[in-house]
Structure 1
Amino acid sequence: MPLGILRPAVELYVDLHAHPELSGAEVRTAGRFAAALERHGAAVTRGVGGHGVVGVLANGPGPVVLLRAELDALPVTERTGLPYASTAAGVMHACGHDLHLAAASGALALLARCRETWRGTVLVVGQPAEETLEGARAMLADGLYERFGTPDAVLAQHAAPLPAGTVAHGRGGPLMAGSAALDVTIHGRGGHAGAPQLAVDPVLTAAATVLRLQSVVARETAPSEQVVLTVGSLHAGERGNVIPDRAELSLSVRAFSDAALDRVTAAVERIVRAECAASGCPDEPEFTLASRSPALLPDQDTAAAVRRVHEGLFGPHRVTDWPPATATEDFPLYGAADAGIRTAYWMLGVTGARQWRAAREGAVPPPANHAPDFAPDVRTALPAGITAMAGAALHVLPAAEEEAR
């Protein structure tokens, strides 16, 4: 990897990691990423679908390939001890989006440097609000394809707790689950903690609801079907001597088919309403669908071709299988088989050799995404990420002599 490409990518990564921003607030991140794309010769547009960034590197007639990375961080307090650890209180790049951005920038630099070997157009997208599953939809609604061209292929990669310098591809079928995020409000009747008979306690109703919801997976879902239902937030009241008048829950459902998502979300609503009725709540509960995303199902031919490219670049021993995961993404929204938009998506190993050995010897898995000690080995993972992304793009873009013929 030429130092002229790797060094700016590392500098971008370190800067972004130290200055993370939450979904919908990625102002500085977008600016830094846009500036990096401009330095590599791309025509850049800011403010697409929020803080989204689109860089265009046009190189004559030919196919259009879109490289996608994400701008946002997570509300996690970092505990990595890195010298470039987050300077934003309670916010951290705990999912590797900073690495994705640096790799996409480096891939663009590599493609710009060898533009005499290919023809076509490269779109590099810095997407906001991936963690809330809002950003892809917002960019598409803001005319991403109408304004910058419909891509022939859309490519993305994601950091994973695998050995740094490796990549992993799906075995066919879904790579990640689809999801639905629901916000629920349970209405009670507030009162004095010493006179509960005069109130309707929404805390008790919410607690019963959380426990009962576990039966949807345990007793309403076939053991062979992968479904996850998680209540990630429950908030009610402020003081121990006051019964509040409402309780709020936020939950997520993950499954590998739209039918399963529909079935489980309907079960959630049924159980919440039943528990509210059992408690004698004065008003019906309220439901808000915060987000929904389909399962990630890459185009099988494109994914298989990209895997072969990666095997040629890294060697077959550094390309592994990735089983279906119940993590979720809004990346599938960029693809449309009926419009000829193919997708490929792979996992990028980020765990350093020493940490990987320690994890294996101690039988404790290495820190995973969303954990406060998640720390990619940038020295190994970033060059691999640049190479993997640029190599996949060159598979889509025809060689210059081929285009000339």
Structure 2
Amino acid sequence: MSVGYLINVLIAALLTLCALVPFQGPAPVFWVTYRLGLTFNEIPFWAIYALIASTVLALSEGDINAAGDWVSVGLAAVTLAGLVVVARRGIRTPPVVRRALEEALGAGTSTRRRPPLVRILVRPFFRRRGDVKRVGNLSYGDAGRRNLLDVYHHRGRPTGGPVLIHFHGGHYDSGRKNTQSLPLLYRLASQGWVCISANYRLRPASSHPDHLIDAKKVVAWAREHAKEYGADPEAGVFMSGSSAGGHMAALAGLTPNDPVLQPGFEEADTSVDAVIVLNGFLAEYFDGDPATSPVNLVRADAPPFLIAHGDLDELVPTENPKALVTALRAVSTSPVVYAELPGGHHAFDLFHSFRFEAVIDGIEDFATWVRARR
């Protein structure tokens, strides 16, 4: 029996199972399966390539002889079918996002685009673009490396572009600025936007409202300095965030120019034109203070929101973002786009995938709609 081939097939089967069915169980096992699932849920093609290659190699070298070997081949076929299901879930995302946009913004507000197949199928890990320059580790506050930000801008420095500010996730106790939503930052920067990704103070050294104050400092910094990189804040300031960063972005968007949250820079304009939340946690902060839940801060003049969430999110069930969507739609005069992504896990914004590229397309259309109505 070919033990090496069986091990390869079993590994592929485990990865496929983690992507198909999010696991709930003991913490150590959960965190391993969670990371495997979110990765190969977005890039199943690499597992497909490896599985096919190992099967072809085993067959060509005559390693498939015993009955047990053919059982391995059968398991490989079942695993391949599972990976195809995973891939199809991602491929189904574009019409879901377009429908969410048109339901919230009106017919004709979404655009069909051809997915970047080479990026998705061949190099999903490579987020950089040759026409985009990253200026790293600029200081926006006095908290050392936790108050540093990166700026992404087109190398040609076209002028007059809008600004996107992004905050990473990490449970408010981990994470850093140059890890999440990079395909989004590079794509928009390549189109003339100036994109900012920022660190912020973390638990346990800091707690609410320290993170939110940092978010507002970044907005103030962008309004003061983004022109140096080709942006014009008058063209639009958008705020986005992943997971905990989405929570912070929502809080910041719902508390514009609040002097209590702007100590020492009370006069700065910290309003934003729209908020984009990716796999966001949108309930109360860890101390249970109701004022830390975006649901309790909704207002009639809230900016437009776009919320994208996976229907298989292991960490934040869909009921969580839906609560904010319902609250906003009941009060706000601005539209709320809610796209529930089929087969999406938490942290779907790490790679070039069919799913995240479709979400980025939707963000572009959403931003176009917002800017046209400013």
Same fold (TM over 0.5): no
Which structure shows the bigger proportion of residues in strand conformation?
1
- TM-score of the pair, normalised by structure 2: 0.24
TM-score of the superposed pair, with normalisation by structure 1: 0.22
* Higher normalized contact order (CA 8 Å, seq sep 6+, divided by chain length): 1
Larger Rg: 1
